[in-house]
Amino acid sequence: MAETPARYCSNCGHELSPEDQFCPNCGSPVHETATVPTPEADVPVPPPPPQAAAAAAPPPQAEGAQRSWPRRHPYLTGCLGLVGVLALLIIALIAIIAIANGGGNDGDEPASKNDPPANAPANTPESTPTSAPTEAPADEDTSTVTMSDVKMAADGNGDQPTTVFSPNDTFYCVGYLEDAPDDTKITAVWLAADVENIEPNSKIKQISATGGDGLFRFNLSPADSWPTGEYAVQLYLNDAEDPTKSLTFEVR
């Protein structure tokens, strides 16, 4: 099949994906792009595997029936039969002795891992084998992680919270993590929610960071200036499908 032609940013030349409305490298709005055709690839189809060879024919049976061995050696056959009877008697005697001794177990060792010892009290419950714990789902690590005091701000420490920015401002998203392991990953997805001449909820940029408890911050600066309109940032913990926090703000 023919691949979708490649697209590139008209500002910095960075390759774009089909859904990008802003360049993920410089943040410029995408208006006109260059495309490069991709030729179709012919994939050879391998020949079908050869059929399994037919099963070999069974060897022919020997012609004629020879005289049976017991008829030629009647005395030896009788001796072998007597030995077999004696062997059965010995096996039966051993089984009777084993049953009389309680199944052959010595002392207090249980007959199996799941059986109680022979001298255990009558009301002692049987032990149940412990199965291996099942593997925890991928998102269980985030069950105790919480985000607090998450806000948009005009500075990296969150001392100037705001939801209104000018076209030349840098966006700051600041918050705190609690009960978070040191390898907790936070992903910030910046969106143009409702901006003129831009498709609604177009992704501007995606940024990830790893850390534990304490302050976290994400920032996004304009390549030239931000178009006026409404914007949003969504915060995801680890590989969760739904955002943990979502903030909206505007440029005017």
Tell me the pLDDT tens digit for each residue of 112-122: 444 444 444 34
- 245-251 sheet: strands from edge to edge: 164-165, 245-251, 229-237, 184-195, 202-211
**pLDDT of residue 140 exceeding 60:** no
The C-alpha atoms of residue 207 and residue 217 are separated, in whole angstroms, by 11
Tokens read off for 207: 């940024």
Alpha helices in the chain (DSSP H): 69-72, 74-100
Q: How big is the chain, counted in residues?
A: 252
Which is more confidently placed, 57 or 196?
Answer: 196
Q: State the pLDDT confidence band at 68, using cuts at 50, 70 and 90.
A: low
Tokens read off for 74: 């009647």
| Residue 150 near residue 248, CB atoms below 8 Å | no
172 - beta bridge partners? 153, 219
| Residue 10 near residue 33, CB atoms below 8 Å | yes
Tokens read off for 179: 């009960």
Could you tell me the domains of the chain?
1-38 (no CATH), 141-251 (2.60.40.10)
**pLDDT of residue 56 exceeding 50:** no
